Each structure stands twice: as C-alpha cells, then as structure tokens.
Amino acid sequence: MQLVLVPSKKEDIDKYKTINNYIIGVKDFSVNYNFVMDINEIINLSSEYSNKNIFVVINKNIMNDDLQKLEQMMIDINNSNIKGILFYDMAVLSIKKRLNLKIDLVWNQGHMVTNYNTCNYYYDKGVNFAYISNEITLEEMIEIKKNSKIKLFTLLFGYPIMAHSKRKLLTNYSISSNKNILKDSHKIVDKISNKEFIIKEDNIGTSILFGDISNHVLAIDEMLKNDFDYGVIDSNYINSDTILEMINIIDRILLGEDLSSYKERIINLIGDNSSFLYKKTIYKVKRK
C-alpha cells in the first residue's frame, strides 16, 4: 500500500517527506477541500516535485459554463507532470475520451463508489483507479478489491465528508438571522443526538463533514492482506504534529512492524471511530 496525503497547505509536501502521493484541490473546481490551488500553480508544483505523484481533484458538479475551462484545464493537465484527476462528474471522463487524453483518472464519486460492478464499468472505460466510499464496510471493500481490476484509494484517517450542496447555507442563515457569521468552518450539533458536524461554505457551495475522525488505520492489516493499493490520509482540521506522528507509525507498520504495539497510541491520537467499517447501514425500516 502506498500512502497518499491530502495536504492542508503547500508546505506539507516538504514537511511529510516519506509521502510520495498527494491529492490537491483545484480552485473553482474542487468541493469539500479546505486547501485548493490554482491549476497553473499545481502544474508548476508537479514540475518542482517531479519525484512525487500529484493527483488533482475536479469534483464539483460541472455546469455548462464550466465546460470550456474544464476542457482547457484537462489539456493542460495532460501536458504536465500531474499524475491523475480524481473526478466526480462524467464530463471529465467524456472529455478524456473525446480528446484521447492519456491522463489517469480516479473515479471519485464519494458515496457512490460502493460496488465492484460499477468499478468494472469505469475500468472498462479506461478509468484505472477508484476512491472507495467511506460509508461501506471493510468486508464490502475487500469484495470490491477481489472482484475488480481497478486500483483502490481508501481513506485511512480523516474527517469524512457527509454532504455537499450548491446552496450557500451559511450565507443564507446569516441573512435570515441577521448575524454576520463567517463562511469559514463552523461546528453544528444535532440537538437530539448531540452529534457534531463541521460545516463550511465557499464560492461553489456548502459542505458538511462528520465531527469525528474516521479511523480506518486499525483495519490496515486486513487492507494489506488484501493488497489495497492506496491509503489516504486527509490532514484537514487535524494538527500537523498528529499527522506527522501518524505517518511515522503507518510507515513502520508498512515496513512490517506489528500494528498492535501502536494501537493505543493511534487511538490516543485520532480516536477509535471505525465509522462504517464494521457497521452496515440499513435502508428498509421494518414494518410492524
């Protein structure tokens, strides 16, 4: 398994020296990412760090007015050192095929990357990677791995994204309540369950993240046993010392050290919320 970092600032590339793969948001085309850069800056970065694999994220819902810029951007990416594009909208795949671009694509429809048949569908369309949903079980992830040739990105730890809206929910609240609240990140709490979420708004819309870190690191042995390809560390909202120590621990486990000797420290650092790894969601309420 190779580690992939979602940095929270440009300097992270120098700071976390053992990481060779990065996912960076593109200004005006990425949602749910705190740290984004202009595409030309990322292209320059990919030249500067030519020994690293830099993936960019184009995961907004593309509108007609975005298409011309998207097409030019994909041509520029294709001619750069950027390794690949994590895409949400089918327009990206369509443009790649139409222009016969060589750039790697990562199917990154978040909550919808949940079965091996759809992974195979995209693989047959020339998509070599998929970033698997955070809302499925470890067993389901393993089944996908076994039944598809597509290479998998899996979250190792980070605050998981729950929802994205085109609506400016913080601005709207600010206007309606006559309160001048900042559009940056806020904490909201469900009044019944007391569960916390992080909400943030930018010029594209509003995103909501779960308020606890998802810790999939404790399942890393199973992931390694099943040849999971890329483990993603999302550093947003997590302090850099924690990220650094976690990377060191994971590096040691990848080199063969025993997970159990680090388990307590891992839990101290990022908690033990295994999210949906061992918890199936239900979708039919039983009738009495």
102 binds another protein (CB under 8 A): no
| Residue with smaller CB distance to another protein, 52 or 168 | 168
With H, G, I as helix, E, B as strand and everything else as coil, classify residue 14: helix
Is the Cβ of residue 45 or residue 92 nearer to another protein in the bound state? 92
The number of residues that bind another protein (CB under 8 A) is 66
Q: Is 159 in the site for another protein (CB under 8 A)?
A: no
Q: Which long-range contacts (CB under 8 A, 24 or more apart) does 274-279 make?
A: 274/214, 274/215, 274/216, 274/218, 274/219, 275/134, 275/135, 275/160, 275/210, 275/214, 275/215, 275/216, 276/134, 276/135, 276/136, 276/137, 277/137, 277/138, 277/216, 277/219, 278/137, 278/138, 279/137
Q: How far is CA 202 from CA 8, 189, 258, in A?
A: 16, 21, 42
By CB under 8 A, is residue 62 in contact with another protein? yes
- Candidate list 2, 44, 78, 115; residue touching another protein; CB under 8 A: 115
Residue 207 parent element (H or E): strand 206-210
- Select from 11, 50, 90, 221 the one that contacts another protein (CB under 8 A): 90
How many residues does this entry show for the chain? Answer: 288
Q: Of the listed pieces 166-174, 230-238, 241-249, 254-262, which binds another protein according to CB under 8 A?
A: 166-174
AA identity, residue 249: I
Q: Distance between CA 279 and CA 64 in Å, rounded?
A: 39
- Asked if 111 touches another protein (CB under 8 A), the answer is yes
Given the rule CB under 8 A, which of 16-24, 43-51, 190-198, 236-244 is the region that contacts another protein?
190-198
Binding site for another protein (CB under 8 A): 61-64, 66-67, 89-91, 93-95, 97, 109-112, 114-118, 120-122, 135-136, 140, 143-144, 147, 160, 162-169, 171-173, 175-177, 181, 186-193, 195, 197, 208, 210, 276, 279, 281-285
